[in-house]
Structure 1
Amino acid sequence: MNKEASAVETHELFDYINDPLNAQQVKEVLGDTLIQEPEERALPDNRQQLILDRIFNHQSLPAKKFKHRVPGWVKLAAAILLFVLPGIYFLKNNNPKLAALSAINKPKQIDVQPGGNKAILTLGDGSKIVLDSAQNGLLAHQGNTKIVKSANGHINYDQTAKGNTTAIYNTMTTPRGGKYDLQLSDGTKVWLNASSSITYPIAFSGTERRVTITGEAYFEVAKNKEMPFKINVNGQEEVQVLGTHFNIMAYSDEAAVKTTLLEGSVKIVKDKLTSMLKPGQQAQLTTDGKLSVTDDADINAVMAWKNGQTLFVNEDIKTIMRQISRWYDIDVEYQGEMPTRLFTGGISRESNLSILLKVLELNKIHFKMAGKKLIVTP
């Protein structure tokens, strides 16, 4: 319905529509006129367009069907990605068929609320502001810069007059189970994932704009050819940009720092190693100092956290659990030998932990909770 589906996503939709197992469900929504026998389904391209036209013009669909029940594939078409509330689609062992799970909303003993907007702002004088409980409006006035919390919870740095205030640095830190976003004084927008931080001057001057991050952050850098934007990552890697959109994932418990470019260009610098990225590419700097570039980064997976989703694409259970631990603010313990198979799937980030665990349990992974510790068994 957003008309943003990629070719792969459109193919998944029609795979679902054309699957004989879903014929009755599809017929209820599309009616008889667009449903064909299996041997005919590969024929007309115009049939696909007719179906898409009917989806886009949803008022032409049977009113009762939409009033009482929206089938999963229609929700998939509307949402574009694999995320539907409260439905979840999960691909088991890289199976390309989407499986709608119907039992996920049942009450469960293990339940933890998802994370939300939580962060602490440390000012240049060392004082701290708990942002999730701070009132909207002016938070502080440092040098020539006002720090304002807007009605939608964003933090903005407004420089009221020219002046050299770059010696004043602030740090925004998100805990486990937290996220936050801010706009720097130059107009650059930054989104922080859970367990992350960014340190930055309250106003930029001189020949460059420089910040430091830990954890994961997404940047939309304001263009300024006279002042390149530079990011120190964990005190090791440097990312140099002029104006661009990109994501950096640099958690200390991950095997590599991953910088993924969505728009523009960035230069990765590590000692004598350098790499210039193009949109769609991802640079990976491993813990042993090796730098490599992937040409076909999964942008949907990279940007899922910022877009309110939890998404795993060909990930093992321990990688999944690290992400869960950060967002739900829990510890994880493993008992027994974990399976080596890979999982792909997704869920809204607003969902309780029990819903996500139900998906994994259907894939023969088991859990029990002891306080804030999640015990995982095969």
Structure 2
Amino acid sequence: MDLARSEIEALASKMIDGSITASEQAQLNVWLDQQMTKNVVELDTTFADNAEQLKDRMLRHILEQANAASPHRASVRMIRWLPYVAAAMLVVAMIGIGVLSVNNKRVAKMDTVPLLDSMDIPPGGSRAVLTLADGRTINLSETHVGIVVGDEIAYLDGSSVFGKQESKGRSEQDTRSLVLTTPKGGTYQVTLPDGTRVWLNSASTLKYPSRFADNERVVELKGEAYFEVAGSPTLPFRVISKGQTVEVLGTQFNVTAYEDEHDVKTTLVEGAVRVMPGTGHRSPVTLSPGQQSSLVDGKITIGDIDTSPYVAWKSGMFHFKQTPFREMMRQIERWYDVDVEYGSSIPQETFSGRMSRNVSLLTVLDLLKVSEIHYQIKGKKLIIE
């Protein structure tokens, strides 16, 4: 059944104010059922096990809100909830739907980039700076997502990072020590000389050689990165970061080692890694897939976890799972290149859900309104009131 957007919104409005007829409700249900079968809905399984259950709960919640409204505020309630029912139904024209839960309150929102208003901030993108051994810096192209380090340094499509003339005059010494740095609001990939691939998250730095030594492979990390290490039975791969060293032979894992985070997290997706504290005489620990180590004050603890929330950023997603508000804000702060300030106390809510990182800041913050969290944006400053 094909319905124009105006028809869908008209039916939604009638459903909320109670004037919808039986035939119109049936028409709306048929259309919504069709959209729910198009596999564009992402579900938080703690909220709904399937699309039909999601639809029923969303519609019931909207109707409950409308029925709870006093007569003199009915029109205000309708206006307030119309965007949510529109978000539930206009899935065919949108990229998808994310479900965010806040202290057991959940609301579906559109996963698209709306037109920015005067104070909105767009999402981050492919941004990084490459620093050579002689101190020269190169602002890497934002139209590319990564570089490959070999005899030359090139983008993933093979084009030179330096340009023809500069590349010819480049000496061996220039590329012995390389540093890749992403700013707030930037991510970038690098394929190392051994074929290892690294995804660097926002506000992060990776230091690595242009060629690895004959007996080991060593890199240094500040911030966050996902590693897909090329296998080698004789050459261990080591990642040094904020008081620890991770050693592998070939595997996939994520390391979060930001200076403003209390702990250093190593999340193993597949294979095996050894995590060694950098201070004291504590023994190293070995992780199995689905485990995460946490280093705090030189002490390592291990737990079994769902790895998805910790590696979702690599695929361009926010994934929160009972995430404390302040921790979530730090992710938002890095991705949107803003400074977060708190007007009074820090909200104690925890958040769960998934949504694309390819949305504007206001789209993300709009989700926070369900928990009555208020904010204002002043330039690059996000103030939580």
TM-score over 0.5 for the alignment? yes
Given residue 246 of structure 1, which amino acid in structure 2 is its aligned partner?
A: F
Distance (whole Å) between structure 1 residues aligned to residue 199 and residue 333 of structure 2 = 19
Distance (whole Å) between structure 1 residues aligned to residue 315 and residue 145 of structure 2 = 24
| 257-266 vs 367-376, which moves further | 367-376
8 Å contact kept, 1:120–1:130: yes
Q: Give 2:99's aligned residue.
A: 89
Residues 312 and 70 of structure 1, relative CA distance in 2, 3 Å threshold: closer
8 Å contact kept, 1:118–1:174: yes
Scaled by the length of structure 2, what TM-score is found?
0.70
Q: Give 1:308's aligned residue.
A: 316
Q: Give 1:358's aligned residue.
A: 366
1:14 to 40, 49, 59: 49
Distance (whole Å) between structure 1 residues aligned to residue 260 and residue 375 of structure 2 = 22
2:156 to 150, 159, 167: 150
Distance (whole Å) between structure 2 residues aligned to residue 178 and residue 244 of structure 1 = 25
Q: Give 1:130's aligned residue.
A: 139
8 Å contact kept, 2:245–2:276: yes
**Can you list the C-alpha shifts for 1:232-257, whole angstroms capped at 9, x where unaligned?**
103x2100000000000010111110
Q: CA deviation at 1:153?
A: 9.1
Given residue 114 of structure 1, which amino acid in structure 2 is its aligned partner?
A: P
Q: CA deviation at 1:350?
A: 0.6
Distance (whole Å) between structure 1 residues aligned to residue 303 and residue 52 of structure 2 = 33
Q: Give 1:250's aligned residue.
A: 257
Q: CA deviation at 1:70?
A: 10
1:228 to 230, 236, 239: 236
Given residue 314 of structure 2, which amino acid in structure 1 is its aligned partner?
A: K
Q: Give 1:59's aligned residue.
A: none
User: Tell me, what secondary structure is at the counterpart of 1:304?
Assistant: helix
8 Å contact kept, 2:124–2:335: yes
8 Å contact kept, 2:97–2:111: no
**1:112 corresponds to 2:121:** yes
Higher helix residue share = 2
8 Å contact kept, 1:182–1:190: yes
Distance (whole Å) between structure 1 residues aligned to residue 288 and residue 352 of structure 2 = 26
**1:259 corresponds to 2:269:** no
8 Å contact kept, 1:210–1:230: yes
Scaled by the length of structure 1, what TM-score is found?
0.72
Q: CA deviation at 1:93?
A: 0.6
Residues 19 and 246 of structure 1, relative CA distance in 2, 3 Å threshold: closer
Q: Give 2:301's aligned residue.
A: 292
User: Tell me, what secondary structure is at the counterpart of 2:332?
Assistant: helix
Distance (whole Å) between structure 1 residues aligned to residue 322 and residue 307 of structure 2 = 14
**Can you list the C-alpha shifts for 1:149-204, whole angstroms capped at 9, x where unaligned?**
1239998xxxxxxxx98991101000000000010010000000000011111111
Residues 16 and 136 of structure 1, relative CA distance in 2, 3 Å threshold: closer
- The unaligned stretches of length 5 or more in structure 1 are 26-68, 76-83, 156-163
Q: CA deviation at 1:146?
A: 1.1
Distance (whole Å) between structure 2 residues aligned to residue 120 and residue 283 of structure 1 = 30
8 Å contact kept, 2:148–2:155: yes
Q: Give 2:164's aligned residue.
A: none
**1:201 corresponds to 2:234:** no
Distance (whole Å) between structure 2 residues aligned to residue 137 and residue 257 of structure 1 = 25
Q: CA deviation at 1:304?
A: 1.2
8 Å contact kept, 1:85–1:348: no
Given residue 91 of structure 1, which amino acid in structure 2 is its aligned partner?
A: S
Residues 225 and 317 of structure 1, relative CA distance in 2, 3 Å threshold: same
Q: Give 1:43's aligned residue.
A: none
Q: CA deviation at 1:210?
A: 0.5
Q: Give 2:83's aligned residue.
A: none
Distance (whole Å) between structure 2 residues aligned to residue 2 and residue 184 of structure 1 = 40
User: Tell me, what secondary structure is at the counterpart of 1:306?
Assistant: helix
Residues 290 and 360 of structure 1, relative CA distance in 2, 3 Å threshold: same
CA RMSD of aligned residues (A): 3.8
Q: Give 1:372's aligned residue.
A: 380
**1:341 corresponds to 2:376:** no
Distance (whole Å) between structure 1 residues aligned to residue 195 and residue 222 of structure 2 = 21
Distance (whole Å) between structure 2 residues aligned to residue 101 and residue 300 of structure 1 = 21
Q: CA deviation at 1:345?
A: 2.2
Distance (whole Å) between structure 1 residues aligned to residue 268 and residue 144 of structure 2 = 35
Q: CA deviation at 1:314?
A: 1.0
Distance (whole Å) between structure 2 residues aligned to residue 138 and residue 12 of structure 1 = 41
8 Å contact kept, 1:368–1:376: yes
